[in-house]
Amino acid sequence: MEIVPIPLLADNYGYLLIGPDSRRAAAVDCSEAGPVLAEIAHRGLALEAILSTHHHYDHVGGNEEVARAIPGLRVLGSRADRTRVPALTESLADGEELEVAGMRGRALFIPAHTSGHLAYFFPDDGPPSVFSGDTLFAAGCGRLFEGSPEQMMRSLSKLAALPDVTRVYCGHEYTEKNLRFARELEPENADIARKLERVQRLRAEGRPTVPSTIAEEKLTNPFLRWESPALRASLRRRFPDLADDPVAVFARTRELKDSY
């Protein structure tokens, strides 16, 4: 399985998943039809399916147009978003398996950014890969539009429980700004400093910073580090009354990031 990031809109990523026969493909999060159809044509692929992570326009805006262009196209999304994902043909609940373009994967229900958000996990055909939409970003997490801090922590924990080597393909190129925020909270964290340097080099060359890995996220992502004594100490300097409780740590981190 080959994975090709497709930059869409201002800072979104869609992804092309090319199956083991190098001919059949699926797309994750198609906000615009044009660039996805162009990439398919350029590579001579047959697009069989779109996998939508959540209903926001900058993730599904191109579904209808691609479905019109390719008769028989499958559009997969969350069962909880049956009425919100355009052109949906198949809905999935937590843990349900899927097969697209010769690739087998599994849906993970990870609500909080939106109440129906899904990730797609592909364990085989190369290193395991997860498409995390706007829930887990490299060094960040999505805003809590339709969920609570506790719910987001459960969703992020589900992703963090995947194998450390899992490649993380997220929905936006926010990595550099996220890491600058992470460094402010944990200035002594060498993993964050090293990754920020690498990411700044990639961005200066105009290259994407995806994928990350679950192992890297555990070391550098403040939204997975609610147990970190350094992060807690740093938050306590800003919020002296901070309770010694993971939910409070997470919620305060999210609150700071909302205005960063």
User: What positions carry a catalytic annotation?
Assistant: 54, 56, 58-59, 113, 134, 172
CA gap 49, 29 in Å, rounded:
11
Cα(228)–Cα(240) distance, integer angstroms? 17
Closer by beta carbon to Zn ion, 56 or else 167: 56
Closest to Zn ion by CB, 56 vs 254, is 56
What binding mask, one character per residue, do residues 123-142 give for Zn ion by CB under 5 A, x or -? -----------x--------
CB of 118 to Zn ion, least distance (A): 12
Report the residue number, 9 or 202, with the smaller CB distance to Zn ion: 9
Q: Using an 8 Å Cβ cutoff, are 45 and 25 in contact? A: yes
In whole angstroms, how close is the CB of 70 to Zn ion at the nearest point? Answer: 24
Rounding to the nearest 10 degrees, give the CA dihedral for residues 51, 214, 189, 223.
50
In the complex with Zn ion, the residue whose CB is nearer, 56 or 232, is 56
Smallest gap from Cβ 78 to Zn ion, in A, equals 13
| Rounded Cα distance, 238 and 83, in Å | 42
How many positions of this chain bind Zn ion (CB under 5 A)?
2
Q: What are phi and psi of 121, to 5 degrees?
A: -115, 130
What one-letter code names the amino acid at 148? S
Pick the stretch among 37-45, 50-58, 223-231, 233-241 that binds Zn ion (CB under 5 A): 50-58
The reply on whether position 56 binds Zn ion by CB under 5 A is yes
The structure tokens 């660039």 sit at 35
Backbone torsions φ then ψ of 15, nearest 5 degrees? -135, 140
CB of 109 to Zn ion, least distance (A): 16
Residue 118 · residue 107 · CB < 8 Å: yes
Write the DSSP assignment of 236-256 as a string of letters.
Answer: HHH-TT--SSHHHHHHHHHHH
Site string for Zn ion, 79-118 (x = CB under 5 A): ----------------------------------------
Residues 150-169 that bind Zn ion (CB under 5 A): none
The binding site for Zn ion (CB under 5 A) comprises 56, 134
